[in-house]
């Protein structure tokens, strides 16, 4: 905690310096001013000196040191001491503001479990989640966080997953369900068999992501760092010219212009930008995580704000990835019921998604089929109630020389006793919010890519409201399609997939957004949507645009105010005191502006009203 300690020290130093400053003002003794100056600012001068030795000359420590030491050389002791005290006070306030913000953002991500309960001799013992092995059984009581990923083996409960997914509705968990770490048990007692160690579980993956998010800097942040590198030497040069040229030309007193030059240096500190820009990105990432959108770095937030095309994978992204029987089409005087009964019975042991959907549609438990024989890649042969049944694709029909009529959207064909009985259409369903998600993105180019056949892809695309659809694609063809789009336009190409077989495409797009299957998705994607909702894509884009708007506002606001004060300082209208106030003021303004991404306006206004009533 030495970090915290140093700020406490700074506060003590500031108070001492302020007291000395007052004594000095009352007694008129400059020695106290010098003491106040040294106590308040020795570390600034040391840092500036160290940096000069390391070859990093121009930074704010250097600017402050030159300005204040310059003031001492012309006998302006109170000015030098006051500037140092004010500057350090500003630093302290900025630090506090940034720390508070970061804390509030990290609290949003308050999902780190403190302990896990393990039963030992009939007693529950709190254990560090890191020490728990796969296969152990943990107990989660009401109100506790689920510490590790696993399967519920006993009990049932409603679970709050809002910290992970931003979804406010509780999820019901029962035996056999997957429990995800980081969610909170609202009511009930769960016994969970651990399936992943702590370091591999969802919680640690998410926390790791959020912690590393700051290391991937955006272009704007890199620009600010570069900007400060060139900006400071230019300012120092201007200050030198300001000190030297006017006295020569106007033949006036040198000390006035020297003092103005020092003021000019103080004003030019670029802290407002250096502090507020990274903070804005951090707040943007924090605000997104509250919505169940994990962004892996500021750079992605910036790229996301300028979309050209948004490309969706179909299965599992726009659709639920679960199959349902849509239509039964009998032929040759067979009935729908017969077809369904024979097909479901023949598929008795199959766990293929299509077979499961047929059994689900039949809903009759006594499935009596014998001599079931699976014909690889084609279908199933079985006898049900003394009838010979074939259920499968067109290859199966041809194999057994069945005279059948081919249908484009048929999922399975059925033959009964060597006679073509009809076919069943099975399809995937759209997610509830897909259509809304697509219409929210209307102003961009929207494309759907899928490995599925054209007819089905077009059907889903039409339901979702997407007109540009590419079907029958292999994974490498999806990548080629993305590359074509990237070549078409300078703005970003965003790919949204469910991460199961999209890793190459997720990686290739300017921004890869994955939803659902965490393990695969977390590795390859740049943004993860925790709750499978395509509508979160539009939300992520809006958030990123809001963040970038605040970044631009901060840059413009800071530079305008700085410029104004530089002009005022050059004409001697404001002095060094004013300069420091301006610097701290602008920085705090910029920090306050940064927080707009995460602060809920309504809460803010409510607090304001309460506060004014108190007054």
Tell me, letter by letter, the H, E, C secondary structure of 419-430.
Answer: EEEEEEEEEEEE
CB 154 within 8 Å of CB 138: no
Q: Convert 169-179 to b/e letters by CB count within 10 Å (16 or more is b).
A: ebbebeeebeb
Q: Are 325 and 512 in contact (CB under 8 A)?
A: no
Residue pair 174/156 in contact by the 8 Å Cβ criterion: yes
Q: What angle in degrees, to the nearest 10, is found between the helix axes of 30-53 and 77-108?
A: 60
Q: Which has the closest alpha carbon to 304: 440, 164, 489, 491?
A: 491
* Cα 61 from Cα 458, distance rounded (Å): 63
Phi-psi region of 166 (alpha: psi -120 to 50; beta: other; left: phi over 0): left
CA distance 544 to 303: 8
- 3-state helix, strand, coil split of the chain in percent (to 5) is 55, 20, 25
Residues 6+ apart with CB under 8 A from 84: 17, 36, 37, 40, 41, 44, 64, 68
Catalytic annotation, pick one of 59, 149, 313, 428: 313
Number of neighbouring beta carbons within 10 Å of residue 470:
16
With contact defined as beta carbons under 8 Å apart, do 191 and 210 qualify?
no
Question: Is residue 514 within 8 Å of residue 498, measured between CB atoms?
Answer: yes
Q: d(Cα 442, Cα 426) in Å, to the nearest integer?
A: 30
Cβ atoms < 10 Å from Cβ of 249:
8
Pairs from 70-78 (Cβ < 8 Å, separation ≥ 24): 70/258, 70/259, 70/261, 70/262, 71/259, 71/262, 71/576, 72/34, 72/37, 74/255, 74/258, 74/259, 76/259, 77/24, 77/30, 77/33, 77/34, 77/37, 78/21, 78/24, 78/25, 78/33
**Is residue 313 flagged as an active site residue?**
yes
Q: Which two tokens stand for residue 263?
A: 């003021």
Backbone angles phi, psi at 8, to 5 degrees: -65, -45
CA torsion angle for 562, 71, 571, 585 (degrees, to 10)?
30
Which residues have a catalytic role annotated? 313
């Amino acid at each position: 905690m030495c970090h915290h300690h140093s700020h406490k020290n700074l506060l003590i130093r500031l108070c001492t310096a302020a007291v000395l400053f007052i004594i000095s003002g009352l007694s008129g003794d400059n020695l106290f001013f010098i003491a106040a100056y040294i106590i308040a600012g020795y570390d600034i001068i040391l840092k500036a000196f160290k940096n000069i030795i390391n070859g990093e000359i121009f930074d704010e420590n250097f600017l402050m040191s030159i300005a204040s030491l310059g003031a001492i050389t012309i006998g302006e002791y109170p000015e030098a001491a006051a500037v140092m005290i004010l500057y350090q006070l500003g630093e302290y306030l900025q630090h506090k503001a940034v720390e508070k913000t970061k804390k509030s953002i990290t609290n949003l991500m308050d999902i780190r479990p403190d302990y896990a309960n393990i039963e030992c001799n009939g007693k529950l013992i709190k254990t560090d989640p890191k020490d728990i092995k796969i296969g152990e059984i943990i107990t989660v009581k009401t109100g506790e966080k689920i510490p590790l990923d696993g399967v519920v083996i006993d009990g049932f409960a409603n679970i709050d997953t809002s910290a992970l997914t931003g979804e406010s509705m509780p999820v019901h968990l029962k035996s056999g369900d997957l429990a995800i770490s980081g969610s909170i048990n609202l009511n009930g007692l769960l016994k969970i068999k651990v399936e992943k160690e702590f370091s591999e579980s969802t919680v640690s993956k998410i926390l790791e992501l959020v912690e590393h998010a700051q290391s991937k800097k955006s272009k704007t942040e890199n620009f600010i760092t570069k900007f400060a590198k060139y900006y400071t030497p230019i300012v120092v040069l201007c200050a030198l010219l300001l000190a030297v040229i006017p006295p020569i030309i106007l033949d006036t007193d040198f000390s006035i212009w020297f003092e103005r030059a020092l003021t000019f240096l103080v004003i030019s500190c670029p802290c407002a930008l250096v502090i507020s820009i990274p903070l804005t990105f951090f707040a943007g990432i924090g605000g997104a995580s509250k919505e169940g959108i994990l962004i892996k770095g500021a750079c992605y937030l910036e790229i996301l704000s300028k979309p050209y095309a948004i490309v969706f994978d179909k299965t599992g992204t726009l659709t639920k990835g679960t199959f349902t029987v849509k239509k039964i089409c009998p032929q040759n005087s067979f009935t729908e019921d017969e077809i369904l009964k024979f097909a479901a019975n023949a598929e008795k042991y199959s766990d293929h998604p299509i077979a499961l959907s047929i059994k689900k549609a039949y809903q009759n438990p006594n499935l009596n089929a014998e001599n079931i024989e699976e014909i690889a890649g084609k279908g199933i042969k079985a006898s049900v109630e003394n009838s010979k049944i074939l259920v499968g694709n067109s290859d199966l029909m041809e194999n057994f020389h069945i005279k059948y009529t081919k249908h484009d959207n048929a999922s399975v064909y059925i033959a009964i006793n060597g006679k073509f009985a009809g076919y069943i259409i099975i399809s995937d369903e759209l997610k509830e919010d897909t259509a809304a998600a697509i219409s929210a993105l209307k102003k961009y180019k929207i494309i759907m890519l899928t490995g599925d056949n054209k007819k089905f892809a077009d059907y889903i695309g039409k339901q979702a409201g997407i007109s540009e659809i590419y079907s029958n694609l292999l994974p490498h063809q999806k990548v080629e399609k993305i590359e074509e789009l990237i070549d078409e336009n300078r703005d970003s190409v965003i790919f949204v997939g469910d991460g199961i077989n999209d890793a190459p495409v997720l990686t290739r797009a300017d921004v890869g957004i994955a939803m659902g299957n965490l393990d695969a998705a977390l590795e390859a994607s740049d943004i993860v949507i925790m709750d499978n909702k395509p509508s979160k894509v539009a939300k992520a884009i809006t958030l990123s645009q809001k963040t970038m708007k605040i970044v631009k506002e901060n840059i413009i606001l800071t530079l305008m105010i700085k410029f104004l004060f530089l002009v005022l300082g050059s004409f001697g209208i404001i002095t060094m005191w004013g300069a420091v106030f301006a610097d701290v003021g602008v920085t705090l303004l910029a920090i306050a502006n940064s927080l707009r991404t995460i602060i809920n306006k309504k809460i803010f206004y409510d607090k304001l009203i309460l506060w004014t009533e108190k007054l």
